[in-house]
Structure formats: structure tokens, C-alpha cells
A = this chain, B = another copy of it.
Amino acid sequence: MDDQDVSYDLARNDRIGMPEAILCEGKSASQIESAVGQALQGSAKVLLTRLGRRLAETLTIPSLDYDEKSQTGVAGDWVAPTGDPAVAVVVAGTSDLPVAREAMRTLAFHGIAAREYADVGVAGLWRLLAIREELTQYRAIIAVAGMDGAMFTVLGGLVPGLIVAVPTSIGYGVSRQGETALHSALASCAQGIVVVNVDNGFGAACAVIRVLGFGA
């Protein structure tokens, strides 16, 4: 009966150039399995996001490639992209890594290679300045930071490519589960930074796919 609960949007790839991903949080195992089943009827592979280890282990999906750090899985046939990275994923602190990895897995699922630059928050500014030249080569950068989100603005003043800011829920007190980093990104005095929801590494990757994948 749960099968009726789920109606996977098979036509999304045709409309917007990306298939629907299955957000697992809040779904039961049978609902997820039903969605995967529907998806694989129209496509060779499907991406699962926000999939915790415990739930993942209860799923009966053949050949599920599960990655705990990013809380993602891929069902079906796929190979990770190789070759030069087209996107930089710049990460302020070690605790922000799970969100960054969600973005990288989503890009990889869509065949886009990315390079991670970890622990380069602006309290140690030299770490970011050291990679500045390299970062100017990227058409698109995903920036991941919590707490004060100051890295977004510094980046925005240094490089010409599209910067997609992903605030994270890292921090305490006035960090307010990411609200301060989010507002900092939106109110940035650097021009042309765009923002997605707190912890939404998946969404940031999708925005980059809209740019790099358009017409491809």
C-alpha cells in the first residue's frame, strides 16, 4: 500500500536536465525502495540523499553504493568521473566536511569532477590566499562554511567565478543552527554571491549543474 505513497518524477530530467533525487529523511524503507524501483525503470541510476547508516543498512537494494560521510547512496550502475576537476569545493572547517561531501557526491553522480580544499577558514587567512590563484581558474566554486560565514565574502572579493555559498549548522549560541552564516552570505558586501539553504550541499551542486550542464 506504501507503493501508492510515492510517485517518482520520471520526466524531471527532460524538463530541467537533472533527474529527481530521493530525499530519504522522513521516508520509510519501503517508501525508499519503491521510489528507487520506479526511478530505475526510467534511468540507469538514481541518487539517494540524507540517508543515515542505520536506514541504509535496512534497505534491500542491489548494488547500493553507500557513503556514510556524505550520507548519500547511488543505486544502479555508475562510475565516478575522472579527469580534471571542473568545480572547486572550498571548506572552512573540518566540521563542515559532511556538507561538502554531499555536494561532491552529487556532482560526481552527474559526471562532474570536483576538487576539495579543506580547512581554509579565514581566521588563518594565508591558507585561502595560498590557493587564490588556483581558485581563479574555476568557473564555479561551492563554498561551505558555518559560524560567521566570513569566508564567503573574502572569496567573493578574490575570484571571478560563480560562488555558491552553503552555510552550515556548525557553531553554537548565536550561530543559531546556521542562520548567522546564512545571513552573512546573503548580506555579503562582496557582489554576486548566491546562497542555498543551510547544510544543502545537494542544492549547491544542482545549481552548478544548471550552469555547467546547460545545453550539454
CB distance from A148 to the nearest CB of B (A): 4
Q: Establish whether residues A157 and B214, one from each chain, have CB atoms under 8 Å apart when the complex forms.
A: no
Contact with B along A179-216 (1 / 0, CB 8 A): 11111111111111111111110111111011101110
Select which of B148, B169, B192, B215 is within 8 A of A153 by beta carbon: B148
Q: Establish whether residues B7 and A149, one from each chain, have CB atoms under 8 Å apart when the complex forms.
A: no
A150-B154, A187-B173 known; A5 and B118 CB under 8 Å? yes
Residues of B within 8 A of A127 (CB): 7, 9
Could you list 27 A-B pairs, sorted by A, with CB under 8 Å? A5-B118, A7-B119, A9-B123, A11-B126, A15-B159, A16-B159, A21-B191, A23-B95, A92-B189, A121-B189, A122-B153, A122-B157, A125-B158, A147-B188, A148-B149, A148-B152, A149-B184, A150-B150, A150-B152, A160-B210, A160-B214, A175-B187, A183-B184, A192-B206, A194-B195, A195-B195, A195-B196
